[in-house]
Amino acid sequence: MTFVKVLGILGAHKEHGVTRMMLDQVLHQVQAPNTSEIIYLEDYQIKPDIKGQPNPTMDQIIAKLEAADVWVIAAPTYWGGLSGVMKNFFDCLRQRLVRFDHKGGTHPDKFAHKHYISLTNCYAGKWENFLSGVTDASFRTIDKVLTAGGLIKIGEAVQTATWGLTELAPAKQKELTKLGQKINRATRKDDQTVKRYFELFFIVAVMAFITMAIQSLCLKLLNLSLGFWSNYISFVIIFFALLAVTLHFFTVVKHKRK
């Protein structure tokens, strides 16, 4: 029987704060025979690898990362960015997370096809974070690091207004519960290629339809009749503008903010 091993990675200055509450809520959904474990980064003296010198602390952490099928990254957002504890861990992990080619380019290595979940929180209120994206940088950092290693994202969650917070609201507990339940359905290896092709086809189809609608409306309002090349050029310009905005939203802006 196959089972999933889950590793919660807590990168906060407080071991039992809001970040830990979020992490616990997710990991409590891990069902037997799947197993979970938490490592608190502040318990380790994490330093980068130096050529010719042993690094037993990183060796210990790497062994846990290799054994786990799913990583749950939990770290607060400070000053609009990922906590220093987690960022230091990612910096020191770099040499072991990816494979470098002869030009210094990075490629997924032994961690490819594992899965991960991102959790963060901030003092900012729900609507402040929704409008300004205080926690976006934290999510982007996690995504950039782990996707470089070939890991596949399961989902993410954010808790806002953490000042003085002692208990997660029922709605947030429900959201984290659903996110944690996805872990039990994660496979050891999967391929997102087909899914991405379907998503790309859907985006292109919708954008083409909207472009044609906008183009037809503009021609009707301006009472113009364009030739083939004029129609083609206007279509390409409108299509490119819409596609650029859509891709920007899905790749940069679209993060959990509430």
- Per-position pLDDT tens, the chain of length 258: 478 999 999 999 999 999 999 999 999 999 999 999 999 999 999 999 999 999 999 999 999 999 999 999 999 999 999 999 999 999 999 999 999 998 888 999 999 999 999 999 999 999 999 989 999 999 999 999 999 999 999 999 999 999 999 999 999 999 999 999 999 886 555 555 676 678 778 888 888 999 999 989 888 888 888 888 888 998 999 998 888 887 766 665 567 777
Q: Report the predicted TM-score, pTM, of the whole model to 2 decimal places.
A: 0.80
One domain, residues 41 and 88 = yes
Work out the angle between the directed axes of helices 228-248 and 193-222 (0-180°, nearest 10): 130
**Measured distance CA(256)–CA(157) in Å, rounded:** 6
Find out whether 72 and 7 touch, Cβ atoms under 8 Å: yes
Q: Is residue 258 part of a domain?
A: no
Query: Looking at the 3D structure of the chain, how many domains does it have?
Result: 2
- Same domain, yes or no, for 53 and 151? yes
Are 127 and 210 part of one and the same domain? no
Instruction: Residue 148: give the domain boundaries.
Output: 5-185
Q: What is each CA distance from 3 to 37, 66, 71, 111, in whole angstroms?
A: 14, 15, 14, 17
Domain boundary among 185, 220, 235: 185
Indicate whether 128 and 72 sit together in one domain.
yes
Cβ pair 122, 67 in contact under 8 A: no
**HSE, side-chain direction, 13 A CA sphere, residue 50:** 4
3-state class percentages of the chain: helix first, strand second, coil last, to nearest 5: 50, 15, 35
Specify whether 108 is located in the same domain as 70. Answer: yes
Q: Phi and psi at residue 33, in whole multiples of 5°?
A: -85, 5
Q: How far apart are CA 10 and CA 173, in angstroms?
A: 18
CATH number of the domain that 90 lies in?
Answer: 3.40.50.360
**Distances 194 to 155, 191, 252 between C-alpha atoms, Å:** 19, 7, 22
Same structural domain, 79 and 197 = no
Task: Look at residue 181 and tell me if it is in a domain.
Answer: yes
